[in-house]
A and B are shown apart, each in its own frame.
Chain A
C-alpha cells in the first residue's frame, strides 16, 4: 500500500512568516488532497491536485504537485493565527478507487 511521509512533523512560526509543508510518496500520486484539522475536530478540505506540475492557490495557501507526481508541497504566505492546526495530505491508492491513504500530519503553531 502507499505510504505518505510528511515533513516537518511540527512547526512553530511567528505571525507574518512564510512556511512550507511537504508530502512525499514512494509511489505515483493519482490524486493528492490537502486537509486542515483543528484539534478534536473533523478535517476541512483545502485543495486537490491531480496533474504533474499542477499548482493551486486559495487565499494565502498554495499547493503544488511535482512533475513526477511523487511529492507535494503546501506553502502558506504571511501566516496568521487562523492558520494554526494540523495539516494532512491524503492520496488515492490507485487511479480508479476513491479511498485515500493519509500522511501523519504536520502540526502548525503560529505565535504572535
Chain B
C-alpha cells in the first residue's frame, strides 16, 4: 500500500535535547512538507522541499532543521533552540512541486511531541 508514514506516534523529550521526527513516503512524490499544529491555530508550515537536495523555510522555521537526501525521506529535527516545541507535527507530500491539476497533499498520521 502506498502512503506516508511518520514515526514515532508519540515522542517525549527533555528540555534542551534535539529530537528527530521521521517521515517516509512511497508515493514517488517530488514535494514534501512539514507542518506544526497547535490547538486553535490550524496548520503552520515549517519547511518544505520541492525536490531532492533542496528545501525552503516555511512560516515558522526557527528552531527546526530538515534534510532531503532521498526522494522518499524528509526528516525534521526539532532543536533546543525551538522555544515551544510541544505540538502535533504533520508531514505531507504532493506529486509535483508545481501547481496545476489537483496536486493535493497527502498527510501522514502525525507525531505528537511533548517536552518535559
Q: Which A residues are within 8 Å of any B CB, using their own CB?
A: 1, 6, 9, 30-31, 33, 35, 40-45, 48, 88, 90, 92, 94-105
Contacts and interface: CB of A to CB of B under 8 A. Distances in A.
Given A88-B42, A105-B42, A100 B99 contact: no
11 contacts: A1-B59, A31-B103, A35-B107, A42-B4, A94-B99, A97-B97, A97-B99, A99-B31, A99-B48, A102-B35, A103-B42
How large, as a class, is the contact surface on chain B? 20 to 34
Contacts of B116: none
Contacts, number: 69
A41 B110 contact: yes
B90 interface: yes
A48 B110 contact: no
Contacts of B77: none
A98 B110 contact: no
Interface string B89-114: 01010101111001111111110100
Interface in B25-80: 31, 33, 35, 40-45, 48, 50, 58-59
Contact of B58 (A45, A88, A99, A105): A99
B103 A98 contact: yes
Interface string B1-37: 0001000000000000000000000000001010100
Contacts of A103: 42
Contact of B94 (A43, A98, A102, A104): A98
Contacts of B33: 99
Nearest to B3: A42
B115 to A, nearest CB: 18
Contacts of B88: 40
Contacts of A95: 99
A100 B105 contact: yes
A104 B110 contact: no
Given A43-B92, A99-B33, A99-B48, 19 more contacts: A1-B59, A6-B42, A33-B105, A42-B107, A42-B110, A43-B105, A48-B104, A88-B42, A90-B43, A92-B99, A94-B99, A96-B99, A98-B50, A98-B94, A98-B97, A98-B103, A100-B105, A102-B44, A104-B41
